[in-house]
């Protein structure tokens, strides 16, 4: 029976960094309404895997397919439908939180100031909208980065350790956002060191050296 | 709703301008360097103003090249350091558009600024005002070409130790035609002969570089981002 | 038809081919250079204008031609490596760069020595020497860029891109320098070039050129072997090759 290809699948991905064989033939697939939890010790290539899946890094061997098509053939369109949150919050210190969001999200879709404010409120940093990012704490910056992911309205979320620097309420926030996203039809790939307890379909990918 | 290319271009240029005007000292430093370097030549050579006029085109152009190189380092570096370059690359607009927008913004902030300041330097070097128009035209074309050559070099050297030295090492040999034709155009304008030929060559170099360099700079950035 | 091309993409195959070719290339290079040097230095008649000084041509001109040809090889190998992702291309480019730079340096030094009897100084801004100097700078840039990266694969790709960008610029630079020099005509009355050549002068020159080319081939083979071994040092075939 042929199942129509949907979702993100990657097969036998190999990546070398210099002499190190960082990713040794990892495969998985993630369909809409699913979450892939990527875990493993430090240095096993979790961030590298996310960068491969985002199209930034071309693997030496293996393929990454979105909706059945290799992402390299339509890289820009694929990237338009994903939201990537790296390990650092990736904010310009001289711009306000609102401006950071505006310049980032505004390239992906037309967005109004109200929607941006709503996203910042949703992640609990609405009051920081007009503060330059360099005066925000690490936790606040993480929340602004999450607001950016939220505002992009992307189908695919690639989150690299989104729980870093967040307190308990922040962790609940991230879990809530993930849950809402996945249940709303999106898919998410999350790198996290601890157990994810979410009422949705969670697959595990354990990377080891 | 997807964002069109022109809108994205304007947004990125606006972003660069916002960022630069929040740190205005970064805009002034290359210009001050330009003035300082041109001051060094008369001090070092102790020439009369009329003798300075002979070497003025070369001095002006070398100073313009060096101060442009200083500012090229910042084209991608700050975005690469805080991770926003990746966000731009993943914006769904294609890396080429990002590169074109950033380089155009960079030229507006540095090259064009240099062109505007050049009459001051020209007076200090004894270049007659009749030659100003040609001089500024040649500088405008030359700095635009240099911004593009520098974009390729900057893309290749982000994040390297001593990256700015390597950037100069890479860009300067490729920029020698600019120096040759730009200085020649200015010299001809000073002596009263027609500088049109040299300006045409500069314009041709500019068009050639502006057409091909975006792809090379995009490829360079991809290599760095990997 | 393209099988030979794809075979060349395999590092062990290239290693084997390089090892087999090297002695032949070195032998024929030696023959060509010995003939060229003896015929050129001892038997060719002195030039009516430049006297015996013109004999520098037998090293200077082949070195200058080779510095450009090697750059072309380096740029082509880089382009192949970038477009088709064939890693051996990077090995060839990395192996060629120092050889080409050495040829450029040799051309500059011999040009300078030739200039002494001709112009009275060791250096004059002759257009060809100047564009040779800029070519040397471009070589140095490529080599410096490659070695500045800690991740060798990225360094290879960056240097490859720079080599390709440079190849587009080399003719532009050369043309600009010639144009620039034409503005200052009169400084060099005696051209640092090949005098019009009877056969007794021409054949040794061609032979030296051939010899330099073959010598480049031989040195390239050795260096490519070393580069391939270094890049593939994790692979099993390398351990076999080293043992034998």
pLDDT single digits (tens) B11-69: 999 999 999 999 888 889 999 999 999 888 888 887 777 788 888 899 999 999 999 99
Residues of chain B whose C-beta is under 8 A from some C-beta in C? 152, 156-157, 160-163, 166, 169-170, 172-174, 176-177, 180-181, 184, 201, 205, 208, 212, 216, 219-220, 223-224, 226
Question: How far separated are the first and last CA of chain B, in Å rounded?
Answer: 29
**Can you spell out the DSSP letters for C143-156?**
HHHHHH-SSHHHHH
C237 inside domain: yes
Give yes or no: residues A149 and A173 share one domain.
no
Residue C169, min C-alpha distance to chain B (Å)? 6
C213 inside domain: yes
- Whether the CB-CB separation of A23 and A209 falls below 8 Å is answered with no
Q: Which domain holds residue C218?
A: 55-243
C129 inside domain: yes
Domain boundaries, chain B: 5-225
Full pLDDT tens readout for chain A, 209 residues = 445 567 889 989 998 887 788 888 889 988 888 899 998 888 888 899 999 999 999 988 899 999 888 999 999 999 999 999 999 899 999 999 999 999 999 999 898 999 999 999 999 998 988 999 999 999 999 999 999 999 999 999 999 999 988 888 889 999 999 999 998 888 999 998 888 888 777 888 888 76
pTM score of the predicted model: 0.89
C68 inside domain: yes
The residue written with tokens 């013109």 in the block is C54
Measure Cα distances from A201 to A58, A146, A172, A198 in Å: 29, 21, 18, 8
Burial level of A104, CB count in 10 A (0-12/13-18/19+)?
A: buried
ipTM computed for the complex: 0.89
Give yes or no: residues A23 and A123 share one domain.
no
C2 inside domain: no
Give yes or no: residues A55 and A109 share one domain.
no
**pLDDT over threshold 70, residue B110:** yes
Q: Average of pLDDT values for C119-146?
A: 88
Taking contacts as CB-CB distances below 8 angstroms, the residues of chain C near A16 are: 153
Q: Could you tell me which chains touch chain C, where touching means 3 or more CB pairs under 8 A?
A: A, B
Ranges of H-type helices in chain B: 5-22, 24-45, 49-72, 77-82, 84-89, 95-106, 112-125, 132-157, 163-191, 196-225
Number of structural domains found in chain C: 1
Number of structural domains found in chain A: 2
The helix/strand/coil state of A17 is strand
Give yes or no: residues A3 and A73 share one domain.
yes
- Whether the CB-CB separation of C207 and C35 falls below 8 Å is answered with yes
pLDDT single digits (tens) C27-68: 999 999 888 888 888 877 777 777 777 788 889 889 999 999
CB spacing of A18 vs C151 below 8 angstroms? yes
CATH number at residue A176: 3.40.50.300
The residue written with tokens 């477009």 in the block is C83
The helix/strand/coil state of C214 is helix
* Interface-testing mutation among C151, C154, C235, with chain A (most A C-beta atoms within 10 A): C151
Give yes or no: residues A70 and A111 share one domain.
no
Q: Which domain holds residue A190?
A: 1-81+158-209
Taking contacts as CB-CB distances below 8 angstroms, the residues of chain A near C151 are: 17-18
Give yes or no: residues A166 and A149 share one domain.
no
Distance between CA atoms of residues C50 and C190, nearest Å = 9
Task: Report the chain A residue with the minimal C-alpha distance to residue B94.
Answer: A76
C9 inside domain: no
Give the pairing type, strands A187-191 and A34-39.
parallel
């Amino acid at each position: 029976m042929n199942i129509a290809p949907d979702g993100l699948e990657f097969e036998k991905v190999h990546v070398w960094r210099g002499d190190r064989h960082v990713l040794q033939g990892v495969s998985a697939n993630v369909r809409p309404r699913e979450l892939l939890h990527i875990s493993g010790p430090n240095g096993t290539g979790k961030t590298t895997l996310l960068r491969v899946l985002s199209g930034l890094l071309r693997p030496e061997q293996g393929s990454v397919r979105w909706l059945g098509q290799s992402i390299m053939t339509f890289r820009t369109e694929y990237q338009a439908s994903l939201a990537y949150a790296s390990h650092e919050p990736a904010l310009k210190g001289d711009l306000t939180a609102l401006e950071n969001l505006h310049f980032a999200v505004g390239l992906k879709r037309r967005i109004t100031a109200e929607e941006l404010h709503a996203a910042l409120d949703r992640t609990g940093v609405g009051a920081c909208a007009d503060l330059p990012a360099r005066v925000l704490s690490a936790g606040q910056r993480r929340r602004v980065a999450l607001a950016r992911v939220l505002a992009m309205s992307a189908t695919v979320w690639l989150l690299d350790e989104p729980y870093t620097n967040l307190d308990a309420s922040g962790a609940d926030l991230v879990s809530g956002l993930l849950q809402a996203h996945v249940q709303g039809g999106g898919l998410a790939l999350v790198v996290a060191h601890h157990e994810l307890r979410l009422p949705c379909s969670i697959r595990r990918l354990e990377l080891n050296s | 709703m997807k964002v069109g290319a022109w809108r994205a271009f304007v947004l990125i240029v606006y972003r660069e301008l916002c960022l630069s005007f929040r740190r205005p000292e970064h805009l002034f430093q290359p210009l001050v360097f330009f003035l300082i370097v041109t001051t060094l030549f008369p001090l070092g050579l102790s020439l009369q103003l009329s003798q300075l006029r002979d070497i003025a085109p070369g001095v002006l152009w070398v100073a313009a090249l060096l101060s442009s190189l200083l500012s090229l380092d910042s084209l991608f570096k700050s975005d690469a350091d805080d991770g926003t370059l990746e966000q731009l690359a993943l914006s769904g607009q294609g890396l080429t558009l990002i590169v074109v927008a950033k380089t155009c913004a960079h030229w507006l902030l540095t090259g064009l600024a240099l062109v505007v300041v050049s009459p001051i330097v020209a007076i200090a070097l004894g270049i007659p005002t009749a030659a100003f128009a040609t001089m500024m035209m040649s500088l405008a074309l030359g700095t635009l070409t240099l911004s593009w050559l520098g974009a390729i070099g900057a893309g290749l050297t982000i994040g390297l130790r001593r990256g700015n030295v390597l950037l100069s090492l890479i860009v300067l040999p490729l920029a020698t035609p600019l120096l040759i034709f730009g200085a020649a155009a200015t010299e001809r304008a000073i002596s009263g002969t027609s500088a049109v030929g040299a300006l045409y060559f500069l314009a041709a170099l500019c068009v050639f570089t502006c057409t091909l360099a975006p792809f090379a700079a995009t490829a360079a950035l991809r290599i760095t981002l990997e | 038809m393209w099988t030979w091309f794809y075979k060349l993409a395999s590092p062990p195959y290239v290693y084997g081919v390089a090892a087999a070719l090297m002695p032949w290339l070195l032998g024929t290079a030696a023959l060509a250079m010995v003939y060229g040097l003896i015929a050129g230095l001892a038997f060719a008649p002195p030039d009516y204008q430049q006297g015996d000084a013109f004999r520098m041509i037998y090293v200077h001109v082949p070195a200058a031609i080779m510095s450009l040809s090697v750059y072309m090889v380096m740029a082509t190998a880089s382009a192949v490596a970038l477009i088709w992702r064939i890693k051996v291309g990077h090995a060839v480019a990395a192996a060629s760069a120092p050889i080409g730079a050495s040829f450029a340096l040799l051309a500059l030094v011999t040009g300078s020595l030739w200039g002494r009897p001709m112009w009275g100084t060791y250096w004059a801004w002759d257009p060809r020497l100047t564009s040779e100097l800029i070519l040397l700078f471009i070589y140095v840039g490529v080599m410096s860029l490659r070695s500045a990266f800690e991740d060798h694969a990225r360094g290879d790709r960056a240097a490859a891109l720079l080599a390709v960008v440079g190849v587009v610029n080399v003719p532009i630079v050369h043309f600009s320098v010639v144009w620039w020099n034409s503005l200052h005509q009169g400084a060099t009355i005696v051209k640092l070039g090949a005098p019009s050549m009877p056969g007794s002068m021409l054949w040794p020159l061609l032979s030296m050129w051939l010899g330099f080319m073959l010598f480049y081939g031989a040195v390239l083979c050795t260096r490519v072997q070393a580069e391939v071994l270094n890049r593939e040092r994790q692979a099993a075939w390398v351990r076999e090759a080293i043992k034998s």
